[in-house]
A and B are shown apart, each in its own frame.
Chain A
Amino acid sequence: DIQMTQSPSTLSASVGDRVTITCRASQSISSWLAWYQQKPGKAPKLLIYKASSLQSGVPSRFSGSGSGTEFTLTISSLQPDDFATYYCQHYNSYSGLAFGGGTKVDIK
């Protein structure tokens, strides 16, 4: 099975900072990667699919890049609403799918 590893597990940042989260796959997953944002007590929200496609309605300060085994989620200028936990997810695999362990972005 494909394993997804996110880093860092926790990230402290300030409003206005540029934030980058990394997700690594244990084998190549092409561009079959999604990113989600989750706030406490809420369901995850889709931000990015196919590694770099922005989901409708998601602010343009969010962007995704990468292919193969290494991917990044970037928030160009962190806003107060962006303090949350972020998960990557690989998909389109006949053996199933998996999420990364999550990255919590908190206030510095």
Chain B
Amino acid sequence: QVQLVQSGAEVKKPGASVKVSCKASGYSFISYGLSWVRQAPGQGLEWMGWISIYNGNTFYAQKVQGRVTMTTDTSTSTAYMELRSLTSDDTAVYYCARDDEQWPSSYFDYWGQGTLVTVSS
């Protein structure tokens, strides 16, 4: 069955970086894309960006453009999302979600379990 398994919770200081992983199984990793979505405590869902597993093309939301980098390792079927220059506003649960292989982004039929990133001094 399709599974997306994310790395564990992180606590970071303001100004630091965080890198969250998302390991896929149960489907052809290279045939789909991945999006990253975050959710601040008690808030709604915010799309952060998309990556094509096939060619590494990316599209980032304007709000995080310049601070986020999405990458993949096809040898381990793992995607990564790195966010730099963290502030308290970045405290959230971060989700990876299976997406279309080509841009523009589509709907998300499978999601990871979420990774809580807490930014605190």
A residues at B contact (CB < 8 Å): 1, 34, 36, 38, 43-46, 49, 55, 87, 89, 91-94, 96-102
Contacts and interface: CB of A to CB of B under 8 A. Distances in A.
Interface stretch (B9-17, B72-80, B109-117): B109-117
A35 to B, nearest CB: 9
Contact of B95 (A43, A92, A98): A43
Interface of B: 37, 44-47, 59, 61-62, 95, 97, 103-109, 111-114
A1 B37 CA distance: 17
A96 B107 contact: no
Contacts of A45: 111
Nearest to B46: A99
B45 A46 contact: no
8 tightest A-B CB contacts, nearest first: A43-B111, A34-B107, A99-B45, A49-B107, A102-B44, A101-B44, A92-B104, A97-B105
A87 B62 CA distance: 21
Contact of B109 (A1, A55, A97, A101): A55
A96 B59 contact: yes
Contact of B105 (A43, A49, A96): A96
A89 B104 contact: no
A55 B98 CA distance: 14
A94 B95 CA distance: 22
A55 B109 CA distance: 8
